[in-house]
Amino acid sequence: MEYKTILYEKKEGIGIITLHRPDRMNALNSTMLRELDHILSEIEEDSDVKVVIITGSEKFFAAGADITELDKMSTPVDVHGFIKEAQAVINKFEDLEKPVIAAVSGLALGGGCELAMACDLRIAAENAMFGQPEIKIGVIPGAGGTQRLPRLVGVTKAKELLYTGDSIDANEAYRIGLVNKVVPVASLMDEAMKMASKIARQPGVALRMTKFAVNSGMNMDIKSAMSYEARCFEILFSTEDQKEGMKAFIEKRSPAFKGK
């Protein structure tokens, strides 16, 4: 498939998706959503890709949904298809079996912030700005903003950001737990690649099980989540990597994981 709104490359087991609508500040439109859906399906089936990075340009990660497209939708019926697709694609980042890192430089607002929040980890450049400004145009976030933001930063802070529509800078995002680290703009991709490479060296099945356990457990009561965690733990004892990892630990050497 030839992409019009994204770029994609692979480096050393890492898939790098770059949002690429420079004339529209990387705003998410229907075309971009379809292309993201397609590339995620390819990545899911590509055993060479261990970790995914999604990024944008220096000034814009993604400035939100494409308002010019949304403005043409005047009824709930009109907007239903768009928001259903947006949720499905953004959820796909969260549900991808492989870890996803958002490398955010510049604006990550509205749908851009929602996309970043669906990723497993977020690294922010010093110039990054995050926010859910939808209230200022008479709507609310529709692709996870009212749900993921409280889970990441707490209900009280999330309500403040959602009610005011205010944006926060990278340091504040780090302080409240929205991002994992803040780095200089020039070193953003180097830092993202460094983290992705470190994760890619981990045993693949255990990595997937970790993501399953965390994501699934967040939607369960604590006792059900603990039971689910135990099942995941038990299953890993059927893998070659578990046996290699424990043997290497006992023998005081580095393990040679095979992803099996």
45: three-class secondary structure by DSSP = helix
Asked if residue 78 has pLDDT above 90, the reply is no
Structure tokens at 16: 């790098």
Asked if residue 260 has pLDDT above 90, the reply is no
Asked if residue 46 has pLDDT above 90, the reply is yes
**Which of 134, 160, 191, 240 is flagged as catalytic?**
134
Higher-pLDDT residue of 232 and 259 is: 232
Q: Is 172 a catalytic residue?
A: no
**Which of 35, 114, 191, 229 is flagged as catalytic?**
114
Distance CA 6, CA 21 (A): 7
**Element (H or E) spanning 222, and its range?**
helix 222-235
Superfamily covering domain 6-200: 2-enoyl-CoA Hydratase; Chain A, domain 1 (3.90.226.10)
Higher-pLDDT residue of 101 and 79 is: 101
pLDDT per residue over 142-194, tens digit each? 999 999 999 999 999 999 999 999 999 999 999 999 999 999 999 999 999 99
Distance CA 95, CA 53 (A): 15
pLDDT at residue 139 in the model = 93
Cα 256–chain centre separation:
28
Structure tokens at 254: 């580095």
How many CB atoms lie under 10 A from the CB of residue 75?
Answer: 7
Instruction: Kindly state the average pLDDT of the residues 10-26.
Output: 96
Q: Is 58 a catalytic residue?
A: no
Structure tokens at 171: 């340091």
* DSSP for residue 237: G
Distance CA 52, CA 193 (A): 10
pLDDT per residue over 197-232, tens digit each? 999 999 999 999 999 999 999 999 999 999 999 999
Percent helix, percent strand, percent coil in the chain, to nearest 5:
55, 15, 30
**Domain assignments of the chain as residue spans, ordered by start:** 6-200, 204-250
pLDDT at residue 74 in the model = 79
pLDDT at residue 141 in the model = 95
pLDDT at residue 67 in the model = 82
Domain with residues 204-250, CATH architecture: Orthogonal Bundle (1.10)
pLDDT per residue over 92-150, tens digit each? 999 999 999 999 999 999 999 999 999 999 999 999 999 999 999 999 999 999 999 99
Confidence of residue 68 (pLDDT cuts 50, 70, 90): confident
Higher-pLDDT residue of 146 and 77 is: 146
Q: Cβ distance 184 to 125 under 8 Å?
A: yes
pLDDT at residue 72 in the model = 83
Confidence of residue 65 (pLDDT cuts 50, 70, 90): confident
Smallest CA-to-CA distance from 98 within 44, 61, 138 is with: 44
**Beta bridge mates, 107:** 60, 129
User: Which residues have CB under 8 Å from 221's CB, separation 6+?
Assistant: none
CA contacts within 13 A on the Cβ side of 9? 6
